[in-house]
Amino acid sequence: MKNKEILCTICAREGSQGVKDKNLKIINKIPLIAHSILQAKASKIFSNIIVSSDSKRINKIALKYGAEVIFKRPNFLATSKAPKIPVLVHAVKEAEKFYKKKYDIVVDLDPTSPLRKIYDIKDSIKKFKKEKSNNLFSVSNSRKSPYFNMVEVFRNKIKIVKKGNKKELFRRQDSPKVYDMNASIYIWDKKYLLNEAKLINEKTSLYLMPEERSIDIDTKFEFRLTKFILENEKLFR
């Protein structure tokens, strides 16, 4: 059996609403996006590692740290409202055209979640293959539950977000297990990604990561916390 062709995508657009230019901000002496590039390279499992960006600055940094930049992301896929799946589909098609090869698996590493370890990448791919999934994404245990201690306000009415079997639950242990999507690792069967691509489907798998490796930088506080963790790793061993 031939080795599977695995493409790594790292998608980073120019604009950022929560933290300005966050993909270029320095954490532990290197730009944020470089952490994901170096992790992908160190895993030694990817046929190609490409960056999808509309930014000349990001593309320049990506090349410096060993990623491949084979296209500039179109503007219509670089807005804050652009869905992620079309961005991935575009990247895969461009890569297959450029490298003249067909990929079997696509692994997307979000640059704003740099706390993953190299073994997280390897182990999640192993799980994906073992379970013969359409797709897999990483999660962490949720500290809150929509069945138990989360509320919503709709038309000035306050209520528990979700009921279990049409009745309100009062104990955490009675509620279904819930997870946070930590935006660290997304894995797709290439054919499924190009033809159907539903994030949640009958053959979706989850890869569980601990809370301390599950920060997705979207705010200044999350950036400062991630920076502290990466620059003081000895404290978290």
- 114-140 tens-digit pLDDT: 999 999 999 999 999 999 999 999 999
pLDDT category, 236, cuts 50, 70, 90?
low
Cα-flanking dihedrals φ and ψ of residue 200, to 5°? Answer: -110, 115
Tokens of 149: 């201690």
pLDDT of residue 149: 77
* 86-96 pLDDT, tens digit each: 999 999 999 99
Residues in the chain: 237
- In order of their start, the domains of the chain are 6-138+180-236 (3.90.550.10), 143-177 (no CATH)
pLDDT of residue 177: 85
What span, in angstroms and rounded, lies between the C-alpha atoms of 170 and 161? Answer: 13
- 226: region left, alpha or beta (phi > 0 left; psi from -120 to 50 alpha): alpha
